[in-house]
A = this chain, B = another copy of it.
Amino acid sequence: MGKTTAVSPLAPAQFPDLPVIDGVRFATVAAGVRYQKRTDVMLAELAPGSTIAGTFTKSATRAAPVLDCQAKIGGTSDAGAAILVNSGNANAFTGKGGVTAVQAITAAVADVCGIPQSRVFTSSTGVIGEPLPHDRITAVLSDLKTTLDANGIEAAARAIMTTDTFPKGAKAEVKIGSKTVSIAGIAKGSGMIAPDMATMLVYIFTDAEVSQPALQAMVSEYTDTTFNCITVDSDTSTSDSLIMAATGASGVNASESEAFKDALHELMLDLAHQVVKDGEGASKFVEIAITGAATNGDAKTHAMAIANSPLIKTAIAGQDPNWGRVVMAVGKSGAAADRDRLSIRFGDIEVAKDGWRSPNYSEEAAAAHMKGQNIVIGVDLGLGDGKATVWTCDLTHGYIDINADYRS
């Protein structure tokens, strides 16, 4: 999806120091799937009995590995498991050849790792519509297996990058009774970001014991308020996947732990925000907070209409407190709105109230907020209790540079 660029100005200072998750080991390699001289395949090996849950894109044209994962998620097994991911090629819209590639890779991983093929989950990310050269991946599996390392998660986060300008990781430690369990997650994604389920590629690991139904319920619930609440460009990928594995190696059961759920929710939100902060061409991180909508669904619709409006995203890039465009987006969204009850704020500055410019309006104060790197647009519909918050970035020349670049 285009050339790499300098690291996003919104990138964290450094990759976090992620904890080792007992029961998970990682290996990466440069297999030459498409890129040269960089790692592009990662293998995560999971201890026997790990429970696995996932959420996936709702795209009607979803890729072969997504369909394969969806068919496998939900079962339980005492066997080990593995996740294999390649970057450089999405194996999407590749017809029967795509299915053949997934079969070949999952069979080879099962063989090398000594696990059932039904416990091998794969993801592919990169260009759409090109046949995946799966032989390049199966050829490196034996070597990969020999380099598995419990400390390999940062390298894994790097191997799954495409147009990402920084690797994305987040962690949590949760005390349950007298013991502590850990969670570590990684993600990739910076363009084609407007998830309609899970988003992009996200892998989360914990040494807690969590039953498969409980784990699935957690990731499904929190996907809705994290990855499904971000957008870079309104374009939904064919390959979005989130997979979470609980190895149980700590011996601590977290299926019912509210502290664990809260920590997981926060970790997922952290990763989702990192994806937005690596949005193609992004120079500002933007929160859209809707309150007073007729329903939560209406609030989300308004929020996404604002977050995906090219006119608003370019105004933010231009540091222009152009609240008239926010009025426009609310109007076009299709969700309930009453022009004369609408109020809008930029940061803490009320710019519009009751259907007109705020009596306290200060162009200078609003403009000062827009000069910051973190922008907050608040909209109250004055209709009910519905609310939603979504996150996006601005639309800059950088996005055009990256995406108007010819693929070859």
Contact = CB atoms under 8 A, between A and B. Distances in A.
Interface of A: 57, 59-62, 90, 92-97, 127-131, 191-192, 194, 196, 233-238, 308-311, 314-315, 317-320, 322-325, 327-333, 336-340, 342, 352, 354-357, 363, 395-397, 399-400, 403-408
Given A234-B308, A330-B60, A404-B315, A324 B397 contact: no
Contacts of A396: 400, 404
Contacts of A337: 60-61
A331 B236 contact: yes
A233 B311 contact: yes
Work out how many copies of this chain go into the complex: 2
Nearest to A357: B129
Task: Name the residue among A234, A314, A330 with the largest chain B CB count within 10 angstroms.
Answer: A314
Task: Name the residue among A127, A129, A330 with the largest chain B CB count within 10 angstroms.
Answer: A129
A327 B403 contact: no
A185 to B, nearest CB: 25
Contacts of A340: 95
Given A60-B331, A236-B328, A400-B400, 6 more contacts: A60-B336, A93-B355, A95-B356, A129-B356, A234-B309, A320-B406
A128 to B, nearest CB: 3
What are the 3 tightest A-B residue pairs by CB atom distance, in nearest-first order? Answer: A128-B324, A61-B331, A318-B404
A258 to B, nearest CB: 35
B400 A235 contact: no
B311 A192 contact: yes
B93 A311 contact: no
B59 A314 contact: no
A355 to B, nearest CB: 5
A93 B355 CA distance: 6
A333 to B, nearest CB: 8
A314 B399 contact: yes
7 contacts: A57-B331, A59-B331, A61-B327, A235-B325, A310-B403, A363-B408, A396-B404
Contact of A238 (B320, B331, B406): B331
A324 B400 contact: no
Contacts of A310: 233-235, 310, 395, 399, 403
Contact of A327 (B93, B319, B331, B399): B93
A332 B196 contact: yes
Contacts of A308: 234
Given A319-B406, A357-B129, A399-B310, A330 B235 contact: no
Contacts of A395: 310, 400
Contacts of A92: 324, 327
A92 B245 CA distance: 52
